Structures are given as C-alpha cells and as structure tokens.
C-alpha cells in the first residue's frame, strides 16, 4: 500500500462507528495475512456458537493504539465505502468496531490468500506463467468487480494490484479488496478530486505519472488491471523484474525505476501457446498510453465472457 493524502477530520463519520468493543484475540494469537501503511490484516477464526458454525473474518487493525488520527479516519472511510458495496467480486463487509485494546478493527469476509501470494508461490515453485484459463478466470472476476464499481457505484478503486485481489480455494472466487484510497467518479468517469489521487507507483497509469495530458478517470483502474495480467505471466511486480543484481553486478537504479513508472512493461521471454492470445490482446489494449484507447470495465466483461463462455452473473448472488 502506498502513502496517502491526509483527509480533513470528519467528526460525524467517527461518531457512526459502534462503540461497543468486540472480544478480538490479541494479534499474536491470529494468523497474519498481510500489512499496509499503519495497518495489519489478520485471520480471526471465531469460536462457534452453540447453534451454528461461525465463518472466519479478516481483521484489518491499526498497528498501534496511539497512531495519528489520520490512520483511523482512513480505516473508517474504507469501512463506510465497503458497507455500501454488495457484489460477488467485492470482499464482504462484516463490522467496524474497536477491539478490547481500543484499536479500530475493520472486519471483512475472509479469503485464503491474495493473488500476490499465489504469484509468489508459483515463482518459488518455478512453475512458469499461470495457465491461460486461470488468468482468464481471475481477469473476468476482477473486471466484473470493476464494472460494478465504475458504473453502479461511480467509484474508482485507485489501487488495483495483485495484493488487493483475494482468492478463495482453487480460484473458485475472486474478490477485490482495500478501498482505503478509492475516490468518487463524475458521470463521465473522471475523478472528482484528482489532486488527491493516490495509487501504488509501479501500477500507475501514464496520466497519473505525468506522461500524458489526460484526466484521471476510471481508465486508471483499467491500466493497472492490464498489469495484473502481466504479473500472472511474469510472476513479478511490474517494472522490478531486474532489480536484483545481474551477473555483471549491475542493477536497476532508482532513477531507472522512476522512468519506467506509467509505461507498459515488456513481456518476459516465455513461450505462450495460442490459449494466451486473448489475454495478450487484452493486456495490450488495457495498457495503451492514451486512456481513451483502453476498454471500459463493461467492455472487458463482455470480452472475457465471450472468451470463457461464461454467462453474465446474477446480482442477486449473495456474498
């Protein structure tokens, strides 16, 4: 997760959060799933009730009780947004309350791992690019979630990357998470307050990196979506595949990396069969420098449903 701009205090938002603490176990007794700026995410296996089994929750907690107020405000902003989202490809909201230690905790639907975890595992196993049908399955799930955010909720995710895509079981469910830097969109898809846009640099689109004179819009998520497809083939974080020292003891410099931000990374030298043709076409379209040349999320959904043969989802499907 990246740095973010300090929002103005909103006392009314703070007052909406329930003040009844829940009995959250101490952090060392829960499995740590990830971390971000000022927060950590844990899996909480809740005790079963006498009449029912309780599903596990993912808890995003502030790292310290006395952290600057901005971190709590950001967590509460995410909770308010997530509470209003309901889609099978968006992680489900459960609660946002203080724990016994006084630290705010955002409770969400729990998933086994992030896409970034799966990429790291595959890289460690030296298994090569993900199978084309797996990439298409992830792409369709994410595209459906983005289409819902962009068209129905008029919301830019703003930090689309493999770390913010959650996976259940054997890629059976795909969920977008982490709405801490999301921003509202105008009717034309542009960001209402572009000066406060924040993303993660290596997934940045050209217009947010100052490489083209176009407004920040929903197409920022589309560019990052294209880089997620690249991640599943290259098994690396974009633009950092040669950060490690080479045989000549030469490594990429910080200036070199800065020059790559907002550009389309080169594909690694791997052999891809014809099953990847559609994926490659989507990757190139999504990572066009001109955002007007990139497809919308709605177009991606139609394209991917055609490639996979999947029928449109029913919005009545519960999380």
The C-alpha angle 199, 205, 209, rounded to 5 degrees, equals 80
Which sign does the torsion angle of CA 195, 181, 264, 246 carry? positive
Does 159 qualify as catalytic in the annotation?
yes
| Catalytic entry in 159, 213, 290, 306 | 159
Q: Which residues pair with 200 in a beta bridge?
A: none
Contact between residue 41 and residue 27 where contact means Cβ atoms under 8 Å apart: no
Q: How many residues does the chain have?
A: 319
Which sign does the torsion angle of CA 183, 5, 240, 210 carry? positive
Distance CA 117, CA 160 (A): 15
Q: Is 269 left (phi over 0), alpha (psi -120 to 50) or beta?
A: beta
Instruction: List the one residue out of 145, 311, 309, 306 whose CA is nearest residue 228.
Output: 145
Distance CA 34, CA 41 (A): 5
Distance CA 133, CA 120 (A): 19
Question: Could you tell me which residues come within 8 angstroms of residue 37 by beta carbon, excluding any fewer than 6 positions away?
Answer: 1, 2, 3, 4, 71
DSSP helix, strand, coil percent of the chain (3-state; round to 5): 35, 15, 45
What amino acid positions are annotated as catalytic residues? 159
């Amino acid at each position: 997760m990246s740095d973010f701009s300090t929002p103005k205090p909103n006392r009314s938002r703070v007052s909406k959060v329930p003040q009844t603490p829940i009995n959250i176990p101490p952090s060392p007794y829960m499995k740590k799933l990830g971390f971000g700026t000022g927060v950590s995410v844990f899996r909480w296996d809740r005790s079963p009730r006498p009449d029912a089994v309780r599903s596990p929750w993912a808890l995003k907690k502030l790292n310290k009780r006395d952290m600057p107020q901005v971190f709590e405000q950001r967590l509460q902003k995410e909770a308010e947004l997530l509470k209003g989202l309901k889609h099978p490809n968006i992680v489900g909201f459960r609660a946002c309350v203080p724990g016994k230690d006084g630290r705010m905790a955002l409770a969400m639907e729990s998933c086994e791992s992030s896409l970034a975890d799966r990429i790291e595992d595959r890289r460690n196993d030296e298994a090569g690019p993900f199978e084309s049908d797996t990439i298409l399955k992830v792409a369709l799930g994410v595209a459906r979630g983005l289409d819902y955010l962009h068209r129905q909720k008029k919301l830019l995710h703003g930090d689309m990357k493999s770390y913010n895509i959650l996976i259940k079981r054997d890629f059976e469910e795909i969920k977008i998470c982490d709405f801490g830097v999301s921003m509202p969109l105008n009717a034309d898809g542009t960001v209402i307050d572009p000066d406060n846009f924040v993303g993660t640099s290596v997934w940045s689109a050209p217009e947010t990196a100052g490489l083209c004179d176009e407004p920040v819009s929903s197409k920022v998520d589309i560019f990052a979506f294209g880089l997620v497809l690249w991640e599943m083939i290259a098994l690396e974080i974009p633009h950092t595949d040669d950060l490690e020292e080479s045989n000549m003891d030469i490594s990429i410099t910080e200036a070199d990396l800065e020059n790559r931000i907002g550009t389309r990374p080169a594909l690694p030298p791997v052999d891809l069969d014809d099953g990847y043709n559609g994926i490659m076409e989507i990757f190139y379209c999504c990572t066009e420098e001109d955002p007007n040349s990139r497809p919308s999320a709605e177009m991606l959904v139609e394209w991917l449903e055609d490639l996979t043969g999947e029928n449109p989802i029913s919005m009545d499907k519960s999380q």
